[in-house]
Structure 1
Amino acid sequence: MTETLPSRSRRALDPDGFRRALAVHAAGVVVITAQSGGVPVGLTATSFSSVSLDPPLVSFYVDRSSTTWPSLRSAGHFAVNVLASDQAELAARFARKNVDRFAEPTRWRPGPLGAPLLQDVSAHLICLPHETVYVGDHILVVGQVAEATVHGPGRPLIYHQGRFGRFIAHPEERA
């Protein structure tokens, strides 16, 4: 469905105001990893989402200017590492540029198809590329989940207002 905004609504959006508005939305944190040409690659993503149960699809967005994306794109599969609340340093490491993300203290092992699986995460999803779509200044990446393993019901790492944090559940209400 395409709608036309009234002319008064089409004025230029303030980029800083837009960023501030988006920052109030909390998001889970994952690290996407792959093996490309025998070299492990990975990046932090806060745009991860489930897409479909049948077929099992998940998605994330990557900035078009990402230097990691070309290597991820050329891989035959990728892993989604769902980070636990105590893994903020790991998330920050995979978000940095010009650092060996897989060097110590990062702990990982090759997965069943070769993609690096990070240690101590809440879950691993092994995905086959399904679709990529260029959307604005990002690329939507959709993967078909071939294998899913939950390692524990731990608390998730959250990204909110430019910082990593922890989820705290509300006490259960009793009737």
Structure 2
Amino acid sequence: MTETAPDLALDPARFRRALALHAAGVVVVTAAAGGEPAGLTATSFSSVSLDPPLVSFYVDRSSTTWPALREAGRFAVNILAGDQSALAARFARRGADRFAPPTRWYPDDHGTPLLDGVCAHLLCVPYDTIAIGDHILAVGRVTGADVRDDRPLLYHRGRFGRFHPER
């Protein structure tokens, strides 16, 4: 695809306001590179394919965590539970020691960090990456899943919240 003509470009602030109206699930992507845990919060998580099982998320090109995630041979998508907004904020903050207490986590059999108390863990191996605009699309092949809860954390209008289904 070609770039949009300048006269058709949308004001970035207006675009951001429009996107804020879309509620999104919240995940923390974790990996271990060189024996050190790394992770970041993403609201751009999506399923891609059932056969093969693929998922994706986007990472800002300026992310200081992306090099470690890119280097890792495995990663986990931790689907956050409704009571984990502080954890989501911690993994979104630059310069924070994200895996220090009060973060509760443990390594899986391959050393990939898994967060405690999440709705589910998706265990993945890298499948593909594509540079798109100011982000990188990361696609992973899901090799395992551990479902634990069904109370997801959501992100809407710049705030975290819980899902309350209609009865």
Percent identity between the two aligned chains:
66
In structure 1, C-alpha distance between the alignment counterparts of 2:115 and 2:32, rounded to whole Å: 13
| Aligned residue in 1 for 2:18 | 21
Residues 1:118 and 2:112 are matched in the alignment? no
Q: Corresponding residue for 1:150?
A: 147
Displacement of 1:12 in angstroms is: 3.2
- The alignment of Structure 1 onto Structure 2 pairs a total of residues equal to 167
CA RMSD of aligned residues (A): 1.6
In the TM superposition, residue 72 of structure 1 has moved relative to its aligned partner by: 0.4
Q: 2:86 aligns to what? A: 89
Deviation at 1:40, TM superposition (A): 0.3
Counterpart of 1:35, as a letter, is A
State the shift of 1:11 in Å: 3.0
**Aligned twin of 1:109:** 106
**Aligned residue runs from structure 1 range 127-142, under 5 A:** 127-142=124-139
Does the Cα contact within 8 Å between 2:29 and 2:77 map onto a contact in 1? yes
5+ residue gaps, structure 1, are none
Q: Which residue of 2 aligns with 1:166?
A: 162
Flag the 1:28–1:19 CA change in 2: closer, same or farther, 3 A.
same
String of CA shifts for 1:16-48, please: whole Å, max 9, x gaps: 101000000000000000001010000000000
Amino acid of the residue matched to residue 46 of structure 1?
A: T
> How far 1:99 sits from its partner (Å)?
1.0
Asked whether the equivalents of residues 81 and 149 of structure 2 are also in contact (C-alpha less than 8 Å), the reply is: no
Asked if 1:56 corresponds to 2:53, the answer is yes
Match in the other structure for 1:98? 95
- The structure with the larger Rg is 1
* TM-score using structure 2 length: 0.96
Matching of residues 7-86 of structure 1 within 5 Å: 10-86=7-83
- Please report how far the alpha carbon of residue 3 of structure 1 lies from its aligned counterpart in structure 2 after TM superposition: 9.3
SS at match of 2:17: helix
- Normalised to the residue count of structure 1, the TM-score between the two structures is 0.91
The letter for the 2-side match of 1:14 is D
Runs of 5+ unmatched residues, structure 2 = none
